[in-house]
Structures are given as C-alpha cells and as structure tokens.
Amino acid sequence: MKYEQLAKDIISNVGGKENVSNVVHCITRLRFKLKDEGKANTEVIKNMDDVVTVMKSGGQYQVVIGNHVPDVYKAVVTVGGFQGQEQVDETEEGPKGSLFSRFIDMISSIFTPVLGVLAASGMIKGFNALFVALGWLTNTSGTYQILNAAGDALFYFLPIFLGYTAIKKFGGTPFIGMAIGAALVYPTLSTLTTGEPLYTLFSGTMFESPIHVTFLGIPVILMSYSSSVIPIILSTFFAAKVEKWLRSFIPDVIKTFVVPLLTLLIVIPLTFMIIGPIATWASSLIGAGSLFLYNLSPVIAGILLGGLWQVIVIFGLHWGLVPIAINNVATMGFDTILATVFAASFAQIGAVLAILIKTRDKKLKSLSIPAFISGIFGVTEPAIYGITLPLKKPFIISCIGAAAGGAILGLANVKGYIIGGLGIFGIPSYISPDGLGMDLWGALISIVVAFVVAFILTYLFGGIGKEQKNSTNSEVKAASNEVAAAIVQQEVITSPLHGEVKALSEVEDAAFSTGALGYGLAIEPTEGKLYAPVSGTVSALFPTNHAIGITTDSGADILIHIGMDTVQFEGKYFKAHTVQGEYVEKGQLLIEFDIEEIRKEGKLLTTPVVVTNYKDYSIELTNKKQVTTVDELLKLDVK
C-alpha cells in the first residue's frame, strides 16, 4: 500500500467511489468511467505527486500515472472497496457520450485487462520465431513446442479471455461469457468438418459454406473461432441481454442455476448458427477492407498513421485499431495497420535523447533519463506528457520522425505476424513464418530513420536553444545555488499581474480556497499579460498555457493558475512566451491571454498565486488591494 494516500486522494477528487462506474488500467493510465465527470477536480489530480496528467477521451476519465500504474491501481481498488472488480456499477445509467466515445470505451474496457498478457504472449511467440530463424531451435524440438504453447495459448483461446472481459463490460456474469468462448473453441467440433458435407449453402458465392452438422434440423455453419475477436464480443453482448431478461422474472430460489442454464442453451446454438458465421464473414470483410485501403497507397497510409499515432494515443483512441489488427492476424495471418506505426515510439525517444544531451536544465535532464528508458520499451507517455508535449516543438518533430518511419514501413510493405510486445520487444513480431525477410529489415530501417530524424531535428530546431542560452551561466548558478539556499533567508514574490488582490478563500475552486494546492493570494486581472514574479526555472507549463509553475533559485515552488475552468478552452485564448525548462528573469513576459473573450465565455479570471511547498516557509501576504507587476505580493522567509 505504498500508494494508499495517492489512491485516497484520487478517489476523493474523482467525486468519491459512489461516482465511479468502473475503473481499469492500461500500461500507464487509470481509466475511470464516471457517472458525472463534472464532480472531478481535474486540476487537483493533475498536480498530485505521481500523476503525470489527466485526459478525458473516449467516454473515459484517464489519470496518467506512468510505469507504476499497476501498483496504484491495486491501491485504488483496495481503498475504494472495489474488490478487484473493474466493473463497479453495472447498472449505471445516465449520459453515455457520443456513439464514437461509447465504442472506444467498449473496446478499451474489453482489451485493457488482457493487454499485459497479450503483449507477453506475443513476445514469447516472437522470440521463439527468432530462435528458429537464427537456427538456435528447430520447430520440432521440445523446447520450441513448450515455448510455442506458452506464447500461443492466449491467442488460440482468445475467445475465452474476451468472453470474460466482454460480458463483464456488458453487465453479464463473467463465467457465462467464458463458457460461450470455450464452446467456440471446443476441439471436438473441428473434427466434424472432415468427410463429405451433407450439402452446401450459398454455393458459388463468397459465403459458400459446406454443412456437416445440423442442430434440431437447422444447418450449422462450422468455422474456426480460435484467435477470433468479433464473434465472441457480439455473442456476449447478446448473452448479457438474455441473462438480464431471464433474471427479471425467474424466481430467486432457482435463479442461480436456471439463468445460466437457459442463457447458454439460447446463446450458444444461436452463436453457431447465426452470430458466429455473420461475425466471421464481417471479420473477413473488415480485414480485406483495411488491406484494400492500405494497398491503395501504403506510403501515404504509413505517413498518416505513423505521424498521427502519438496524437491518437494521447486521446486514447488507438483502441479502435487494436481489434482490427488482431482480426487481420486471425483472418489473414498478418497485419499492416499497426505495422505502420511501429516506428512512432522510437521517434519519441529520439527527440527525448536530443533534449537530454542538449539541455542544461537539471530537472529536465533528470526527467529525460527515465522517459528515454521507458520509451525504449514502447511506453512513451512519460516522454510525451512530461517532456515533448510541454515543449511543443519536440512533440511535433517526433510526429514528423514517426511519419518518416511510417513511410518506410509502407514502402517496404512491412507486415506484422503477431500482436507482440512494445518498443524493442516488438521487433520479433516482424519475423515471417518463412524466416528473416524484408518485413524485419524494413521494420529495423524504419525505427532507425524515425529515431535519427527526430533526434537531429530536435537537436537543431527543437526550441531548447533558447533554454540553453538562458542557461549559459548555469555552471555559475549551480555552484552558487547551494550557498544561496543557505544564505538567502528571504525571497520577495512580486505580483505577476495588474489587478485587484483577493484572499484565496474567495476563489470559487475548493482546491485553492481550502489551501489544498498551496498558500498565497489571488488576483483579479485587469490586463491580459502575466509576468514572471521571480527569477527561476519554468518547472511546469500546461499544454493549454492556462497555468504555469516556477521554481525559484532558492527552491520555492510557485504555481499560477489563470482563471477557473479555463483548461476547457484547450489553449484557445492563451499564448505562451516561454517553454518548460527555461530559466526566466523576474519581470519577463510569460503568458498573454484574452480577458474579454474569456469573460464572454462565462469563465472567471480570478488567478491564484500560491507557494505549493509553503510548509518550508513563513509567508507574509501583502495588505494592498490593488497591485501592479512591481508591487510585492508575497514575502517568503525560510524556516
């Protein structure tokens, strides 16, 4: 329970456990489905230690944690009393969002719980293929067979795993979903397709189907459902509806066994006779359709998907492509859709490495090291949210590098043969069953190109030159800062704005008015310009430019938040004149904002100016009612 307090704070600020409909986690994020997102204190959560940022997308409230999200998730489940169940309130009603948001929410909820094992299984299969290609193993050896079983089991029995997660998402009983999935891959049924068929349906069409068995005289089209995705999702959706209907009138005394009995008797035959064949045909059409679009111009597809992939990931919309890729592998034996984005994570770490080498800002450098290491293994959220996105230009450049890599992947017609690991662990996914070939070499060339392009462009044009220029005296500052920290007993924080001074208690935001985010004052601005109230390093600059954090030379952390709920404008009325990591001088213009337009939108412009590490200081507040940017606002004395 290392993260017990963090879990308590997160649950409290998402509106309490009664506001949580479900919660799952992926590699870096807690994904909440909230009954009312308006109850969540997003800014408070964003400023918590161990929280990278908060995203709202696809009908989900996503709290980005980083690599240790599984531990935080366990703490959230324990503290919230969710009993390890991702689905907390299966009867939740209310706004569901757009059809697209609901689709993304459904896909992510179904696949997120198996993501870790899915990646691990793919890695085992990929390395097994690599060992055979290098001649280290033969495909008849016992070692190969056992490793193949370890890697292939999840994919072969994927309908059982998805049966659990899918029916849970739809509000049904998980073991009913698993039973349906198990029936789809029941091995005895595959033996029934041998020999002459009784007759053939749809002869001469693309849906031609030999009939080997019937159910109560009705023809059954037997198909292979191992590794399939769509049939089990549709079947469990229908099963959840049937189960709910049966529970509405069957007496409680026999409900425990009669409801599962009737649900299975109804759904499984219908799945084999109707749902399964239709879903399988639909799967084949989707795979053929995606391949057709790819074949129109693989290069353009690679540029667009590769270049936009990181943007898609930011909004959590990449789940819409995952089932298509899995379906393509199941129906065609390979996938080209996710293959086009393989180089994106390497472009991201190329940009981060350039920043790591060039920057002289200690905090930015310290953030870059773990972000680079995580990115090597395909986990790029720390790099995106902590470094490149706040700096803007490096993020754009990383997208350009990813587009270049995607173009190579498209030009070489690279195919992925398994849904494997991320980052360097994804490389074996491009080894063809026939051995080492252009798929692997194309993938390797693409990641080198993406990495080099992003590295060079970021180093030359990444916008960190100004930060470096401002840090030309950093060696002197670094040498003197330790002495200054001991000698400087008092620091004066001037007003960053022209305007009227207000007490924090008057701010219409509980996170500030209660002092949860720090101690200080608020200003009602009369001019849309924010100046540095002290010399120091820009430790945080929100992507929407509505809030900024500055760490002074003596170590005080100052947070300035322009207006209330102005994050909703997504930067529309704000223009930053600085970047995260830059050393700024007192009185330097940092941000401009349009007062009139913000007020027309009905938002308050009350701007808190707080010291977040206030416990280290004795703070004296000004008694002035009106201030300009030359007036003293706060006086800090080191305790």
Average pLDDT per block of 10 residues along the chain, 639 residues long: 86 91 79 88 87 78 81 88 50 49 69 72 76 83 91 86 90 92 88 80 76 87 79 92 91 88 94 86 68 82 87 62 76 84 92 90 77 77 74 90 94 86 82 86 95 94 61 40 44 91 85 78 94 89 85 86 83 87 87 92 91 85 90 85
Q: What is the pLDDT of residue 181?
A: 93
Q: What is the pLDDT of residue 105?
A: 67
Residues 531, 493: Cα–Cα separation, whole Å: 11
Q: How far is CA 581 from CA 50, 362, 387, 499, 533, in A?
A: 19, 9, 9, 28, 16
Residues 6+ apart with CB under 8 A from 21: 32, 33, 34, 35, 88, 89, 92
Residues 120, 338: Cα–Cα separation, whole Å: 17
Contact 590, 575 (CB under 8 A): no
Give the single-character DSSP code of 418.
S
Residues 6+ apart with CB under 8 A from 204: none
Q: What is the pLDDT of residue 243?
A: 93
* Helix or strand holding residue 215 (H, E): strand 213-215
> Among the options 25, 26, 399, 546, which is catalytic?
26
CA 461 to chain centre: 27
Residues 549, 464: Cα–Cα separation, whole Å: 18
Q: What is the DSSP string of 455-488?
A: HHHHHHHSS-HHHHHTTTTHHHHHHHHHHHHHH-
Q: Please report which residue ranges of 377-415 form alpha helices under DSSP H.
A: 381-383, 389-391, 393-411
Q: What is the pLDDT of residue 295?
A: 78
pTM: 0.51
Residues 342, 447: Cα–Cα separation, whole Å: 8
Q: Which of these, 417, 395, 400, 265, lies nearest to 332 by C-alpha position?
A: 417
| Amino acid letter, 83 | Q
* Helix or strand holding residue 574 (H, E): strand 574-576
Q: What is the pLDDT of residue 1?
A: 62
For helices 230-247 and 252-270, give the axis angle rounded to 10 degrees.
150
| Amino acid letter, 318 | H
Contact 448, 427 (CB under 8 A): no
| Full set of structural domains in the chain with CATH | 4-97 (3.30.1360.60), 157-294 (no CATH), 297-468 (no CATH), 484-638 (2.70.70.10)
Cα 39-40-45 angle, rounded to 5 deg: 160
Residues 282, 288: Cα–Cα separation, whole Å: 10
Residue 300: exposed, middle, or buried by beta-carbon count in 10 A (0-12, 13-18, 19+)?
middle
> Among the options 212, 498, 546, 561, which is catalytic?
561
The answer to whether residue 26 is catalytic is yes
The answer to whether residue 68 is catalytic is no
Q: What is the pLDDT of residue 421?
A: 67
Written as six digits, the tokens of 629 are 């940017």
Contact 367, 386 (CB under 8 A): yes
